[in-house]
A and B are shown apart, each in its own frame.
Chain A
Amino acid sequence: MLDKTTIICRCEEISYEEIEEVIDQGARTFDDVKRLTRCGMGPCQAKICTNLVANIIHEQTGRPLHKIPLPRMRMPLSPIKLETLTTDSTSFSAVKSVLDEVELEDGKVR
């Protein structure tokens, strides 16, 4: 059904071929594909491409869908103006998961 030029992530215009390539290089989860291609980093925040990518990983590798984990769903859950986010900056700074993958210790990444 798909040819190599078929778009998989419409926000970032990532093609089937590009996804296939990174799976060949070892990508096994949506977040692997995302880190290597920008797939999922568009305005819809992966809402459209998550399942399409999971299906491709499944077809290419034979890995069952229940072994292909969900991507990280991070704050803000949907696009929001920076202006809005900063209006109430005292409570904004306490929002969980803004930078949860990078933990600082003495000003350096741990």
Chain B
Amino acid sequence: METEVLIIGGGPAGLTAAFEMASRGLEVTIIDESFSLGGQLCQQTQLIRALPSAYQPMAGFKLANKLTEQLKDFSVRYLLGHRVIGLYADGSIGVTDEKDVFPVKAKKILVATGAAENAISFPKWTLPGVITIGAAQTLVNRDFVMPGKEALIVGSSDFALDVAYQLMEVGVNIKGIIEKSAVVNARDKEKVNQVEKKGIPFYFNSYVKEAKGNGEVEAIDIQLQNGILTETVDLVCIDGSRSPILDSFYQLGCSFGYQEVLGGWIPQYNKHFQTDQKNVFLAGNAAGISNHAALLLTGMISGISICEELKVLNRDAFKELTLSYWRELENLENKDAWQARIRHIEKFSAPLLKDQFIS
């Protein structure tokens, strides 16, 4: 199979990039291992306020619909239920539909594979009932399954508080939120108020000492500053933060740098979201963990960069758009993430990890 542009990942970043390119007439193929588009947005029911100017505030799953809908007037090819599993020696992408493996040859490749949740280990963390907050959100909002009745949340990011609230709404009793630092991690004070109003206790300077149970989690020992508190629970939701999914970049021979704020190792890229493999671009959480506005804007920036390279956008218009998207990114992305991104881009020509396959 051949295509002008192959986008790996049909989440918000891949979809906004697709819009920039398909609306300018490029032949775009989107591959996603899931059977629906929208990526991890599909199970997000919370209102997303900060979005690029082209979008109104809306719930995550509605944004997923909108981003999918706006492609409908253009000829985009979808390979849903397809996985990228490797790379052929001639540079074609190895794709499987679970029956066959076949090569897809593309002039440009845009990797928007998103992020994976990190684990936190403690004694018996592998007991059933201990899951990530993202898994809890997926079970409740996508599969309509109650993962438990009595729960503890580990971590207090905006994401963790959103999920705590979403669990409460379906009747899960949240017994507390455990936070290892001295303050709430979430930036959105409204979210903190919302949870506090429900009378949910925060345990600061605290961590899970161990999980207890036979065959499933039955209780958690919380190590507080001044002793141990044991809570009986059948659900523990862990927020260990997220890291970019890098396997496709690795296969493609991209270099990597390290920015803790952006999730650790990330592919090296320039201000056009182009990697050091000239035909490979990237967007979204794969380019560093950030907020929703940044997911969309990085998709838009990489999308127009490919448009310029494939000559469907003239240089002046491209320069102007790049500037305005970057300005929006600076305004909407959290300051520490934005600064880390700038530092990362400055290191483009001096990556920490390169030539992984040759070394």
Contacts and interface: CB of A to CB of B under 8 A. Distances in A.
Whether both chains belong to one complex is answered with: yes
Nearest to A92: B101
Contact of A94 (B90, B121, B126): B90
B102 interface: yes
A77 B121 contact: no
A6 B122 CA distance: 6
Report the contact-size class of chain B (Cβ under 8 Å from the partner).
35 or more
Listed residue (B94, B98, B99) with the most chain A CB atoms within 10 angstroms of its CB? B94
Interface string B211-232: 0000000000001000000000
B121 A96 contact: no
Contacts, number: 113
Nearest to B118: A51
Contacts of A1: 121-122, 207-209, 223
Contacts of B264: 51, 65
Interface in B97-140: 98-103, 116, 118-119, 121-126
Contact of B243 (A10, A51, A85, A91): A51
Contact of A7 (B126, B209, B223, B250): B126
A36 interface: no
B265 A2 contact: no
Contacts of A75: 85-87, 94, 251
Interface in B197-255: 207-210, 223, 240, 243, 246-248, 250-251
Interface string A83-103: 011011001101111001000
A25 interface: no
B260 interface: yes
B96 interface: yes
Main secondary structure of the interface of A (DSSP, over half): loop
Contacts of A80: 83, 85, 96, 98, 101
Interface stretch (B48-56, B184-192, B272-280, B351-359): B351-359
B346 to A, nearest CB: 15
B118 A3 contact: no
Interface residues of A, number: 38
A98 to B, nearest CB: 8
- List 5 tightest A-B contacts by C-beta distance, closest first: A75-B86, A66-B258, A73-B250, A76-B85, A73-B247
21 contacts: A1-B207, A2-B123, A3-B123, A5-B123, A6-B125, A10-B126, A51-B240, A51-B264, A70-B250, A70-B353, A75-B85, A77-B83, A77-B251, A80-B98, A85-B101, A87-B101, A94-B88, A95-B89, A95-B101, A97-B86, A97-B87
Interface of B: 83-90, 94, 96, 98-103, 116, 118-119, 121-126, 207-210, 223, 240, 243, 246-248, 250-251, 256, 258, 260, 264-265, 352-353, 356-357
Interface of A: 1-3, 5-8, 10, 16, 47-49, 51-52, 65-66, 69-70, 72-78, 80-81, 84-85, 87-88, 91-92, 94-97, 100
